[in-house]
Amino acid sequence: MSQYRQDYHIHTGFSIDSEAEMEAVCEAALAKGIDEIAFTDHLDFGPNDPTDPFPAGSYLAAIRGCRDRYRGQLVVRAGIEVGEPHIFADEAAGVIAPHEFDVVLGSAHYAEGMRAAWLEDFFDQPLHDAYESYFRQVVELAAGGDFDILCHLDLIKRDARKLGKPYDGPGPYADMIRAALRAVVERGKGIELNTSPLRRGQPEPCPSLEILGWYRELGGEILTLGSDAHAPHRVGSHLEVALEMVKSVGFDRLAAFERRQISWKGI
């Protein structure tokens, strides 16, 4: 029996930072032996984000078209990645509630005070202060956001390293990271293992193996894998590495979602 493979974090032309076509993504997933994908385009409301309303109707119609075309070959889920859902709860609900989404990712791209944590000037402050500010945002998100999966919870390291800045975590921020993980577990939510740093030549995914182990120790069970692909050829990137990592800390199944309800897939 073949091993179940998923990619639950994929962006398309419905996100401002991607031009990928959904059918090309599906073809790439099939070529790589992936069983199930989730399109998770950006739904953002922050000060550095687009102000145009998200076209939920056309987005979901395009996903339905892929489901019809690839039925029996590939499971296609309708997801969304909501930035700072604890801050923009009403705005996000206005998009999500009227529609049938399968999975909602919650992410922090802004640090405390809604400072854009991917821009170079964010890292001009003392780095420890920058990282603490980011993880305080993650703690608030984990405790209060409407999401199913908390994605790339230590994303700050990816952007820091991209800009040539050292990252001294997770140890100095362990209390905050554990608080976020504890809130996720207590609320019946999950996290993802996001492989995007690996394709950038960085040493570890988001989160690190150490944090993944903390999540497991705290009783975490709900876990998805995602490439954070913004182009078809990135779909499923480093999936085999991710599977070995999650197994090494004791996971033997992944979460799959339909209409925000979990089913379990053995690995």
Backbone angles phi, psi at 74, to 5 degrees: -150, 130
Buried b (16+ CB within 10 A) or exposed e, 17-51: ebebebeebbebbeeeebbbbbbbbbbbbeeebee
pLDDT digits (tens, 9 = 90+) for 164-223: 999 999 999 999 999 999 999 999 999 999 999 999 999 999 999 999 999 999 999 999
User: Tens digits of per-residue pLDDT, 37-61?
Assistant: 999 999 999 999 999 999 999 999 9
For the record, the structure tokens of 243 come out as 């599977």
pLDDT tens readout for residues 90-135: 999 999 999 999 999 999 999 999 999 999 999 999 999 999 999 9
Asked if residue 1 is part of any domain, the answer here is: no
89 pLDDT exceeds 70?
yes
Q: How far is CA 32 from CA 97, 142, 145, 171, 230, in A?
A: 33, 32, 33, 36, 16
Query: How far apart, in whole angstroms, are the C-alpha atoms of residue 220 and residue 243?
Result: 16
Give me the CATH number covering residue 50.
3.20.20.140
CB 196 within 8 A of CB 40: no
Residue 43 inside a domain? The answer is yes
Helix/strand/coil for 242: helix
Q: List, for residues 148-158, the tens digit of each pLDDT value.
A: 999 999 999 99
Residues 40 and 81: beta-carbon distance below 8 Å? yes
Per the structure, the count of domains in the chain is 1
CA distances from 165 to 47, 110, 134, 159, 205 (A): 24, 17, 15, 8, 17
The domain of 13 spans: 6-266
